[in-house]
């Protein structure tokens, strides 16, 4: 069974339920079998999920109807008596998001006489790891026993029992500190003081049988994060995780390092506009034509959770070379990106990092600065005077936190905001970066480095990725070879996936505000309660856990949250307030890389030829 992950956001109290709903680690790309209608007339037949099943998130719902006297005109899905999905058809085949825990899923049909009939299914949403096959056992997904963790402690667990589990509770020294009526557990424990804690997770099923599992943790103080005096973030353009780091696990395995990364399934099958099967393939060129990651195309890529539209939507950017869009399935490896592969291996990365919204660059960069796109889903022109929405830079100013914005060419984004005239004094050319890092005492605490789009160094489709990577190496080398290195973290990521294939399904998240998407007639329906597609991230610092791979779900607003937590700055919106603070990446007990590890020279002489962008056989 494939599994999901749920993220929680602390409100108040001792332990807190999940608010952010996340998705499958992997998803089958084969078409679903037809759901055959049942003999009862009228009736709804739910083929999946089965009754009393532990399900992944999002959950596949497939149902058909029987009504010999009338025409079925609509099928609806209710979760816990709340309408979530409706289709104007007599069958339904879709995916729904569920929080960890027990749920009532109702599939209801309407016919043209106005009559309704329905089928109820009770399910329990599963935790994000494979459960033990042993009957009456508990699997603790996170954290691992014996490791160091910081408060709040995120605890996720599931149960295996031939009888339905009724309750799970957490005990410390025999006293209950949390209890839930569920088969699964996903909480933040907010009041565990620094020190060793011996916990017991206990479940009880409907027959009154109890079974337990111990968990020993060492909680460390977060005061160590003051060792990060400088947070530097650099966000490039339009790459999916599978496109760049899809085979990173294979590379790590070749170095005898843990290779548990949810990478690219090389046997995945998608179909192009001609109905021909295409599998992931290694690009033979370090540049390829653009694809479209706009709102409508991204939602068609997603396709209700099927994740099968990438090649079909890529044809919205016409190409005489690759007219059926096979380039959406191409990927790179360590022979193309040796510096990035070694950087991500020696330092830290994540296979669960996403763009904030399922659309193109502009809205995602709004989230990066403001924690919201305040309704915008297309690259809209700012009003006279610029966007009024507060940004992280406004919050830093209010808190007297020094910051700086380095630009590489004339492609800066900050001038689109209303505070630009005030902030212009904090904008410096990239040439100043190499001088400024040599004086740690005067280096600002928060630094954003703008990508070099007009110069073609942003790694955007159409540009040479090796030239962009070599430029990134130069910027990071400037930090590593300076006194500022010992007290800094450099975060490299990408604004969105660019229409390139990724197999991990986007899922639900906390909406940043109450502003709906500015949809026009004919636009794909959607909301801001979902994250975008998966993107690469590398966290580089002497203080990161070496060779670390995170599996915690985050989007770009987690960078904002790290800044907010480190410098005591209030959140911008509900989205960044709910975001994980990224402290999992660090070990402040000792710096592992005061002397940076040797890293390869990044070549910039790879073949750059659009004519080589197609999948083999096309």
- Report the pLDDT averaged over residues 324-345: 98
Same domain for 241 and 102: no
End-of-domain residue from the set 83, 105, 125 = 125
Task: Please give the radius of gyration of the chain, using alpha carbons only, rounded to the nearest integer.
Answer: 25
> Percentage of the chain with pLDDT > 90?
71
- Report the pLDDT averaged over residues 335-363: 98
Residue 364's pLDDT band, with cuts at 50, 70 and 90, is very high
Instruction: List 76's β-bridge partners, or say none.
Output: 86, 108
Residue 398 falls inside a structural domain: yes
Which pLDDT score is estimated for 180? Answer: 83
Residue with tokens 């599992």: 213
Which range, 17-31, 103-117, 302-316, 442-456, is most confident?
442-456
- If residue 156 lies in a helix (H) or strand (E), which one and from where to where? strand 153-160
Start-end of H helices in 292-347: 295-302, 310-314, 338-346
End-of-domain residue from the set 220, 236, 262 = 220
| Angle of CA points 304, 309, 313, to nearest 5° | 125
Query: Residue 356 in contact with residue 367, Cβ under 8 Å?
Result: yes
Which pLDDT score is estimated for 84? Answer: 74
- Report the pLDDT averaged over residues 9-31: 32
Query: Residue 540 in contact with residue 490, Cβ under 8 Å?
Result: yes
Q: Tell me the CATH number at 490.
A: 3.40.720.10
State the angle between helix axes of 557-567 and 361-370 in degrees (0 to 180), rounded to the nearest 10.
10
pLDDT of 586 above 70: yes
Q: How far is CA 18 from CA 202, 252, 343, 534, in A?
A: 20, 32, 33, 21
Which pLDDT score is estimated for 6? Answer: 32
Token pair for residue 266?
């090389």
List the one residue out of 367, 305, 240, 391 whose CA is nearest residue 21: 305
Which pLDDT score is estimated for 18? Answer: 33
- Report the pLDDT averaged over residues 561-575: 95
Which pLDDT score is estimated for 128? Answer: 61
Q: What is the pLDDT of residues 229-266, one digit of tens each?
A: 999 999 999 999 999 999 999 999 999 998 889 999 99
pLDDT of 496 above 90: yes
Handedness of CA 543, 545, 546, 552 (dihedral sign): negative
Domain count, the chain: 3
**515 versus 82: which is more confidently predicted?**
515
Cα(51)–Cα(151) distance, integer angstroms: 37
Residue 35 falls inside a structural domain: no
How far is residue 435 CA from its own chain's centroid? Answer: 35
Same domain for 560 and 427: yes
Which pLDDT score is estimated for 8? Answer: 31
pTM, full prediction = 0.73
Q: How many CB atoms lie within 10 A of CB 456?
A: 16
pLDDT of 380 above 60: yes
pLDDT of 278 above 70: yes
Same domain for 241 and 100: no
**395 versus 305: which is more confidently predicted?**
395
Residue 1 falls inside a structural domain: no
The backbone torsions φ and ψ at residue 266, rounded to the nearest 5 degrees and listed phi first, read -65, -15
Cα(306)–Cα(268) distance, integer angstroms: 12
Residue 328 falls inside a structural domain: yes
pLDDT of 123 above 80: yes
pLDDT of 585 above 90: yes
Which pLDDT score is estimated for 515? Answer: 96
Residue 37 falls inside a structural domain: no
Same domain for 201 and 241: no
Same domain for 595 and 504: yes
CA atoms within 13 A on the CB side of 311: 23
Q: What is the pLDDT of residues 148-204, one digit of tens each?
A: 776 667 788 889 999 988 889 999 988 999 988 878 887 777 678 888 999 999 999
pLDDT of 29 above 50: no
Cα(258)–Cα(251) distance, integer angstroms: 10
Same domain for 79 and 146: no
37-41, 61-65, 99-103, 434-438, range with the lowest pLDDT: 99-103
End-of-domain residue from the set 62, 90, 125 = 125
Same domain for 324 and 447: yes
Same domain for 462 and 574: yes
Same domain for 605 and 509: yes
Query: Residue 232 in contact with residue 478, Cβ under 8 Å?
Result: no
Residue 97's pLDDT band, with cuts at 50, 70 and 90, is low
pLDDT of 17 above 70: no
Query: CB within 8 A of 290, min separation 6: which ones?
Result: 317, 460, 461, 462, 499
Residue 82 lies in domain? 43-125
The backbone torsions φ and ψ at residue 229, rounded to the nearest 5 degrees and listed phi first, read -90, -20
Which pLDDT score is estimated for 16? Answer: 32
Same domain for 192 and 118: no
Which pLDDT score is estimated for 467? Answer: 99
Which pLDDT score is estimated for 7? Answer: 32
Mean model confidence pLDDT for the chain = 89
pLDDT of 373 above 50: yes
Contacts within 8 Å (CB) and 24+ apart, 456-460: 457/408, 458/236, 458/237, 458/411, 459/236, 459/237, 459/238, 459/239, 459/494, 460/236, 460/237, 460/238, 460/290, 460/498
Token pair for residue 193?
């003081």
pLDDT of 451 above 70: yes
Residue 603 falls inside a structural domain: yes
pLDDT of 369 above 50: yes
Residue 471 falls inside a structural domain: yes
Same domain for 335 and 428: yes
Q: Tell me the CATH number at 104.
A: 2.60.40.10
Query: Residue 227 in contact with residue 207, Cβ under 8 Å?
Result: no
How far is residue 323 CA from its own chain's centroid? Answer: 30
111-125, 437-451, 536-550, 596-610, range with the lowest pLDDT: 111-125
Which pLDDT score is estimated for 20? Answer: 31
- Report the pLDDT averaged over residues 145-149: 73
Residue 28 falls inside a structural domain: no
Which pLDDT score is estimated for 153? Answer: 79
Q: How many CB atoms lie within 10 A of CB 434?
A: 15
Which pLDDT score is estimated for 126? Answer: 66
Query: Residue 135 in contact with residue 124, Cβ under 8 Å?
Result: no
What is the per-residue DSSP string for 563-601? Answer: HHHHHT---SSHHHHHS---GGGB-TTS-S-SSPPP---
Same domain for 466 and 370: yes
């Amino acid at each position: 069974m494939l599994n999901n992950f749920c993220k929680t956001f602390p409100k108040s109290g001792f332990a807190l339920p999940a608010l952010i709903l996340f998705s499958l680690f992997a998803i089958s790309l084969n078409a679903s079998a037809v759901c055959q209608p049942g003999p009862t007339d009228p009736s709804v037949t739910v083929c999946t999920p089965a009754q009393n099943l532990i399900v992944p998130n999002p959950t596949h719902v497939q149902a058909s109807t029987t009504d010999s006297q009338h025409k079925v005109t609509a099928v609806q899905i209710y979760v816990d008596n709340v309408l979530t999905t409706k289709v104007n058809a007599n069958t339904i085949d879709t995916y729904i998001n569920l929080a960890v825990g027990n749920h009532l899923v109702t599939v209801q049909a309407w016919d043209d006489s106005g009559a309704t009939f329905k089928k109820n299914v009770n399910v329990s949403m599963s935790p994000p790891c494979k459960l033990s096959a042993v009957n009456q056992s508990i699997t603790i997904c996170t954290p691992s026993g014996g490791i160091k963790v910081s408060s709040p402690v995120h605890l996720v667990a599931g149960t295996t029992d031939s009888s339905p589990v009724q309750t799970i509770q957490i005990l410390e020294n025999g006293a209950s500190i949390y209890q839930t009526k569920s088969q699964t557990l996903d909480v933040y424990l907010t009041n565990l003081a620094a020190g060793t804690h011996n916990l017991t997770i206990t479940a009880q099923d409907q027959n009154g049988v109890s079974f337990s599992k111990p968990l020993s943790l060492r909680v460390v103080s977060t005061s160590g994060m003051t060792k990060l005096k400088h947070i530097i973030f650099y966000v490039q353009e339009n790459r999916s995780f599978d496109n760049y780091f899809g085979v990173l696990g294979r590379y790590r395995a070749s170095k005898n390092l843990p290779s548990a990364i949810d990478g690219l399934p090389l046997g995945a099958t998608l179909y192009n506009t001609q109905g021909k099967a295409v599998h992931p393939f290694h690009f033979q060129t370090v540049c390829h034509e653009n694809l479209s990651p706009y709102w409508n195309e991204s939602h068609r890529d997603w396709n209700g959770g099927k994740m099968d539209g990438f090649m079909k939507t890529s044809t919205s950017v016409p190409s005489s070379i690759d007219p059926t869009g096979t380039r959406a399935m191409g990927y790179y490896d360590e022979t193309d990106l040796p510096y990035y592969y070694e950087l991500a291996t020696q330092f830290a990365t994540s296979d669960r990092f996403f763009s904030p919204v399922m659309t193109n660059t502009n809205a995602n960069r709004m989230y990066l600065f403001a924690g919201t796109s305040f309704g915008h889903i297309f690259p809209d022109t700012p009003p006279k005077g610029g966007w009024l929405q507060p940004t992280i830079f406004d919050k830093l100013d209010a808190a007297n936190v020094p910051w700086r914005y380095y630009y590489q060419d004339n492609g800066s984004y900050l001038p689109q905001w209303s505070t630009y005239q005030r902030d212009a004094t904090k904008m410096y050319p990239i040439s100043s970066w190499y001088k400024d890092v040599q004086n740690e005492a005067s280096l600002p605490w928060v630094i954003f480095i703008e990508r070099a789009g007009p110069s073609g160094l942003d790694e955007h489709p159409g540009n040479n990725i090796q030239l962009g990577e070599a430029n990134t190496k130069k910027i990071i080398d400037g930090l590593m070879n300076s006194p500022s290195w010992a007290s800094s973290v450099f975060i490299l990521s990408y604004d969105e996936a660019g229409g390139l294939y990724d197999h991990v399904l986007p899922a639900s998240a906390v909406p940043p505000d109450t502003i709906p998407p500015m949809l026009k007639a004919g636009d794909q329906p959607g909301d801001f309660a979902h994250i975008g597609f998966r993107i690469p991230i590398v966290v580089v610092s002497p203080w990161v856990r070496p060779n670390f791979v995170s599996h915690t779900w985050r989007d770009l607003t987690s960078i904002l949250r790290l800044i907010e937590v480190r410098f005591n700055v209030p959140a911008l919106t509900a989205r960044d307030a709910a975001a994980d603070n990224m402290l999992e990446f660090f070990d402040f007990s000792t710096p592992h890389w005061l002397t940076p590890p040797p890293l390869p020279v990044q070549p910039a002489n790879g073949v750059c030829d659009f004519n080589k962008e197609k999948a083999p056989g096309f």
